[in-house]
Each structure stands twice: as C-alpha cells, then as structure tokens.
Amino acid sequence: MNVLKVPARTIAVFVLPCLIIYIGLVFVPIIVSIYDSLLDWDSINKAKFIGLDNFKTMFAHDANFWPAVRHTLMYAVFSMLEIPICLFVAALMNRYVKKANTLVSIYFVPVILSTVIIGQLWKTIYNPADMGGMLNGILNSLGLESWTRSWLTEPKIAMYCLYFVSLWQYFGYHLLIQFTGVQNIPQEVYEAAKIDGAEGFKSDWYITYPMAVPIFKISIVLAFIGSLQQFDLVWVMTGGGPAHATDTISTHMYNSSFLSLKYGYGSALATFLVFVCLVFTVVINSVFKKVEAKYS
C-alpha cells in the first residue's frame, strides 16, 4: 500500500532520472511515429501530410494487412493457451520433484539463446529430408512418407510451424513464472486442506489454481504483448514469406517502412499495433478483475 508522504522534491529525485530517459527515448519516439503515420513519406525526401489516408489504405486496400493481423492475433492466442499448460506442469513439479529449481533453470535455456541460434536450429529441423531436416527424417523412418512436407514454405502450415517454435521457446519462461507463483502458496493452506480431505489433483483444483490467478494474469499479459511484437523469429526463419504467408504486423511494418520505403505507412502500422496492445491489455485486466473477485 502507498503509505509514505514525502515532499515533492523527494518524489522528483526518485522518479525523474528514469522518467526522463524513458519518456525521451521510448515515449517521444512513439509519439513522433504516430505523427509520421499521418504522412506520405519515404523517410528520405520531403513528407506530405495526408491525414488519415494511411489508415484508410491499411483497413480497406492493403490485401496483406488483415492476414497479418490474423497471424499476429493467432500468435497471441496460441501463446496464451500455453500458459494453463505451464501452470499445470508447475503444479506437478511442485508436488513430485524435489530439486525442481534446477529443472526450471534447464527449461529456461531456449529463452536465453539468441534468436539467430533458435532460428537456425528450427530451420534445420523443418528442412526437407535431403537437406538433413530432422522432422521429415523422423517421419520417413517411421514410414510416414506421406506426412513429410516442406514445413516452412507451404502457406497453410508455415505459420503454425512458427507458432510452435515460439511455444517451445517461451515454455520455460512462463513455466518459471508459474512455478514461482505456485511455490509461493503457503504450505499451511495445503495442510489445512488435507484435513478436509483434499489431496493431490483435488488440492490443485481447489487451492493451487485459484491462488495462482494473479500470476496467471501476469503471464497472460506478458505472453500477449510479447507475441504481438514478435519480429525477430519470423524474420530469421521466413522473412514473412512465402509471399506474405507468414507476415505479422511487425514484419509487415518493417517491410513497408524500410523495404518499400513507405515510412509513413509503416508508422501507421506501428500505431495500430500499439493501439491493439493497449485495448487488449485493458480488456485482459478487466476480465481478470472479475475472475479475481470471484475467488477472493
């Protein structure tokens, strides 16, 4: 709870150094970007003010925009669906494994590695069999030749292959958050429940999951925001291709701003992205407020 009454000068000392850097280098640039979204500008020559035309083009005329939005939102949905699984595994670990911390640390490894490594690895996994692709190789040796395919280049499945890599990479991240949350539930609660006859999965259902709701929310918000901004992995693995089949809002933005030299339009995409982030975060928060109210 906020308790301390301190003079404004003290507040300034505590807040300003950070706030100035942050406002100047994150907030101001994005406001500049929002302004740029009203321009017809190649980022090099003179800009022309065109009002909301970029947004009109975006919503009505850009055939690649809505698919990119769909891919991005699907990305978010998949990432969020992973979190209940993480919570479930975390609860299991808490019950069955003694040195669970070490295990959690190992699961976290893919988060640490740079996207270049992750991208290279998974490209090698998805490659055609004659280029050493692991997945196709395994399918072949299982006699499932008909299942083999060129995973990253078939427009209908390439996006799912990318979702999967992200799920794999961030499994450890969300498991870590969930696990620490689960660990934090006081032992006495379980003991009290034991007396009432709740043990094992039953105690998970009545104690662990409800009490993990606040941390669950944190993971959901982080997963949502993170996957909305997903850029590196897609860029390294498919570059948004083939023919925009794996474009997300952020790769589309990069393409427009820096390759098509339509910086104003790219900024409009960035603005849209921030807006979507804000709206959904508010929605997620208010949903959880209701859930939390129900359980406490």
Partner 1 sequence: MVKKSTKTAAFALTAAALLMGATACGSNNANNTSDNANTGNTGTNAGGNAAAGGDKNVTITFQNIYPDPATPSYKMLHSIVDQYQKDHPNVKIELDSLNTDQQKLKLKTQAASKEVPDITIVNPAAQMKPFVDAKLFAPLNDMLDQNGLKDTFQKGLLDYYSFDNNIYALPDGNNIEVVYYNKDMFAQAGITATPTTYEEFLDDVKKIKAKGMTPIAIGEKDSWTGSFLFMNILLRTNGGPGFLQDVLDGKKTFKDPAFTDAVSAMQDLIQAKAFEEGATSIDYNTGGNLFKTGKAAMMIMGTWETGAIDSSTVGPKVGVFKFPTVNGKGDPDQFMLAPGSAFAVSANSKHLQETKDFLNYFMTEMPKKQFELKNAVGSGQIITGDFKAAGYSQLAQDVLALFQNVKGGDLAFDNTMKPAIAQAHLSSIQNMFVQKVDPAAVAAEHQSAFDSNK
Partner 2 sequence: MKGISKGIVYAVLGILVITQIYPLFWLVLYSLKTNEQILGSSFFSLPTTPQWHNYKDAYKSGHYLQYLGNSVLVTVVTLVCVIVFSSMVAYAISRFKWRYGPIVTLIFLMGMMIPMQATLLPLMVIFKNLHILNTRWALILPYIAFATPISVFILSGFMRGIPAEIEESAFIDGASVYRIFRSIILPISIPPIMTVVILTFITIWNEYIMAATFISSEKLKTLPFGIYTFVSQYNVNYGAIGAFLVLGALPVLIVYFVLSERITKGMVAGAVKG
Q: Which of residues 3-62 bind partner 2 (CB under 8 A)?
A: 3-6, 8, 10-11, 13-15, 17-19, 21-30, 32-33, 36, 43
Other C-beta atoms lying within 10 Å of the C-beta of residue 214: 13
Q: Which is nearer to partner 2, 238 or 267 (CB)?
A: 267
The residue whose two tokens read 């709206």 is 279
Using rule CB under 8 A, residue 45 touches partner 1: yes
Residue 26 interacts with partner 1 (CB under 8 A): yes or no: no
Per-residue binding string, partner 1, 46-65, x by CB under 8 A, is: ---------------x----
Q: Which does 261 bind (CB under 5 to 8 A by kind): partner 2, partner 1, none?
A: partner 1
CA atoms of 167 and 175, how far apart (whole Å): 11
Q: Which of 229, 242, 291, 292 binds partner 2 (CB under 8 A)?
A: 229
Q: Which of 50, 73, 92, 207 binds partner 2 (CB under 8 A)?
A: 92
- Residue number, 25 or 142, with CB nearest to partner 2: 25
Q: Which of these segments, 43-51, 73-81, 167-175, 276-284, binds partner 1 (CB under 8 A)?
A: 43-51
Residue 44: name its binding partner from partner 1, partner 2, none (Cβ under 5 to 8 Å by kind).
Answer: partner 1
242 in contact with partner 1 (CB under 8 A)? yes
Shortest distance in whole angstroms from residue 146 CB to partner 2: 20
Q: Which of residues 219-238 bind partner 1 (CB under 8 A)?
A: 237-238
Q: How many CA atoms lie within 13 A of 166 on its CB side?
A: 31
Q: Which of 84, 128, 137, 210 binds partner 1 (CB under 8 A)?
A: 128
Burial of 64-97, coded b for 16+ CB within 10 Å and e otherwise, reads ebebbbebbbebbebbbebbeebbebbbebbbee
Question: CB-based contacts of 240: which residues, under 8 Å, 6+ apart?
Answer: 234, 246, 247, 248, 251, 252, 255
Residue 157 and residue 149 in contact, taking contact as beta carbons nearer than 8 Å: yes
Q: Binding partner of residue 141 among partner 2, partner 1, none, CB under 5 to 8 Å per kind?
A: none
Please report, to the nearest 10 degrees, the dihedral formed by the alpha carbons of residues 123, 127, 133, 137 taken in order. 140
Specify the residue, 78 or 263, whose C-beta has the smaller distance to partner 2: 263
Which positions from 94 through 123 interact with partner 2, judged by CB under 8 A?
Answer: 96-97, 101, 103-118, 120-121
Number of Cβ within 10 Å of residue 264's Cβ equals 24
C-alpha span between 162 and 79 (Å, rounded): 11
Element (H, E) at 251: helix 249-254
Say whether residue 260 binds partner 1 (CB under 8 A): yes
Which among 281, 232, 272, 224 has a CA at the least distance from the CA of 77? 224
Q: Rounded to an integer, what distance in angstroms lies between the CA atom of residue 176 and that of residue 104?
A: 6
Return the number of the residue (155 or 160) whose C-beta is nearest partner 2.
Answer: 160
Residue 289 CB, shortest distance to partner 1, in Å, is 28
Closest CB to partner 1 among 82 and 247? 247
Task: Name the minimum Å distance from CB 61 to partner 1.
Answer: 8
**If contact means CB under 5 to 8 A according to the sort of partner, which of partner 2, partner 1, none does residue 17 touch?**
partner 2
Radius of gyration of the chain, Cα coordinates, nearest whole angstrom: 23
Q: Which three-class secondary structure state does DSSP give residue 48?
A: strand
Of 52, 72, 86, 102, the closest CA to residue 212 belongs to: 86
- Across-strand partners of 40? 48
